[in-house]
Amino acid sequence: MADKPRVAVHKFSSCDGCQLAFLNMGDTLLDLAERVDIIHFAEAGPVAEDARVDIAFIEGSVVTAHDQQRIRTIRDNSEYLITIGACATSGGIQALKNLALDAEHWPAQIYGQPEYIDSLEQSAAIADYVRVDFELWGCPINSNQVIELVNSLLRGVSPKDNQDKVCMSCKQQQVVCTLVTEGKPCLGPVTRTGCGALCPQFGRDCFGCYGPAENTNVTGLSRRFSGLGLLPDEIQRRFQLIHPTRYIQTTSDTREAGEHE
């Protein structure tokens, strides 16, 4: 590529943790800045929200009418749009409000003068509003995912989307299975790999921060959890944490599975 690709990093409703996949790269951040032109990345310094770019990274979910407008403008200004992290790919943990029956009353309960809060009832993924070219799943994503992706794009190689389950990662690293040997309600069998199976290595079960893998058998896993002694509401909460609307579509999915035991 003769000119360096122009890159933007945009933030929507998020904790900012996925942007740290850039800022926590260490020296590699400076290498990256040599390979691309960072046109807009407010937290790092450059601000040019409406500039045309080759690659736009989007962190965060859509939660206001203004967000809806903004993401459409960004889509028009960007050749390649990539969502990074749970908030952008699935609405994030704040999508828990999508499941609440009374979320429209929440601003009044927390903020004394709620008329100043412009907030939609749902936290939505970016793909609900615009076409997305590639997704990096994770909560958070890690620096390797970003480097891998940027490198692939720079070299004209299709980025790889690995939808293997966390179980693959455990087996490859010879980590003992928490579900089988410890009877913990591990979401690994239905969750994307990418984190490197961190939780099983650190003494706990997977809680699904990388989101659902392909071809998941949530019903089967719910029955297993029920067999381990989890009650229906506990099972439901297990699947509705980081990606509240993606593992199960309705609250009755797991309830039914639990009740079959």
Partner 1 sequence: MSKRNLKLTVPILARVEGEGAMDLEIRDSRIEKLQLRIYEPPRFFEKFLEGRAWHEIPDIVARICGICPVAYQVSAVNAFESIFGIEPDLWIQKMRRLIYLGEWIESHALHIHLLALPDFFGYESGIAMAKDYPAEVRRGLKLQNLGNEIMRVIGARSVHPVAIRVGGLHKAPDEHRLEQLQSLLEEALPEAEAMCEWLATVNIPDDPQQFHCVALRNNGYGVESGELISSTGLQLQPEQYEQHFTEFHQPQSTALWSHMDGAPYLVGPLARLNMNTATLPETMQPLLQKFADRFPSNNMFDSMLARGIEICFALREAITILNQYTAPAQSYVDVEPCAGHGYGWSEAPRGLLWHHYETDHQGIIRQARLVPPTSQNQARIEEDLHCSLTRFGLDNSDDEIRLHCEKVIRNYDPCISCATHFLKLNTVRH
Partner 2 sequence: MSSSALNNPRIRIIGLGSPHGDDQVGWNVIEHLQQLPDISAELLRLDRPGPALLNYLSNCDKAILVDACDAGWQPGEVKHLTLAELLTCAELQQRSSHQLGLAETLQLAVTVDHPLPEIECYLIQLANLTPLSDPGPEVTAAAQAVTAMISRYFCSSVSG
Q: Does 19 bind partner 1 (CB under 8 A)?
A: yes
Torsion angle, CA of 97/101/105/110, rounded to 10 degrees? -50
| Single residue of 52, 72, 160, 204 touching partner 2 by CB under 8 A | 160
Tokens read off for 15: 């904790």
* Strand-strand pairing, 37-41 and 6-11: parallel
- Nearest CA-CA partner of 52 in 71, 32, 74: 74
Binding mask 11-50 toward partner 2 (x if CB under 8 A, else -) reads -----------------x--xx--x---------------
Residue numbers 89-148 binding partner 1 by CB under 8 A: 92-94, 96-97, 100, 103, 106-107, 109-113, 116-119, 123, 139-140, 142
For position 198 contacting partner 2 by CB under 8 A, the verdict is: no
> 136 contacts which partner out of partner 2, partner 1, none, CB within 5 to 8 A by kind?
none
- Which stretch, 80-88, 92-100, 155-163, 215-223, contacts partner 2 (CB under 8 A)? 155-163
Please provide the DSSP assignment of 190-239 as one string: GBB--S-SHHHHTTS----TT-B-SS--HHHHHHHHHHTT--HHHHHHHH
205 contacts: CB under 8 Å, gap ≥ 6: 178, 179, 182, 184, 185, 186, 187, 188, 199
For partner 2, which residue of 3, 109, 115, 155 counts as binding (CB under 8 A)?
155
Query: Distances from the Cα of 213 to the Cαs of 120, 174, 197, in angstroms?
Result: 28, 21, 14
Supply the minimum distance, in Å, between the C-beta of residue 163 and partner 1.
21
Cβ of residue 160: shortest distance to partner 2, in angstroms? 7
Among 116-124, 152-160, 197-205, 241-249, which window interacts with partner 2 (CB under 8 A)? 152-160
Taking CB under 8 A as the criterion, which residues in 140-179 touch partner 1?
Answer: 140, 142
Token digits of residue 34:
């040599």
- Report which of 25, 246, 21, 231 is spatially closest to residue 125, judged by C-alpha positions: 246
∠ CA(243), CA(244), CA(245), 5° rounding?
A: 100
Nearest residue to 55 via CA among 33, 38, 67, 68: 38
Place of tokens 């959890």: 225
Q: Which residues bind partner 2 (CB under 8 A)?
A: 28, 31-32, 35, 147-148, 150-152, 154-155, 157-158, 160, 172-173
Q: Which residues bind partner 1 (CB under 8 A)?
A: 11, 13-21, 23-24, 26-27, 29-30, 33, 38, 41-47, 49, 63-64, 67, 92-94, 96-97, 100, 103, 106-107, 109-113, 116-119, 123, 139-140, 142, 195, 198-199, 201-204, 207, 209, 234, 237, 241-242
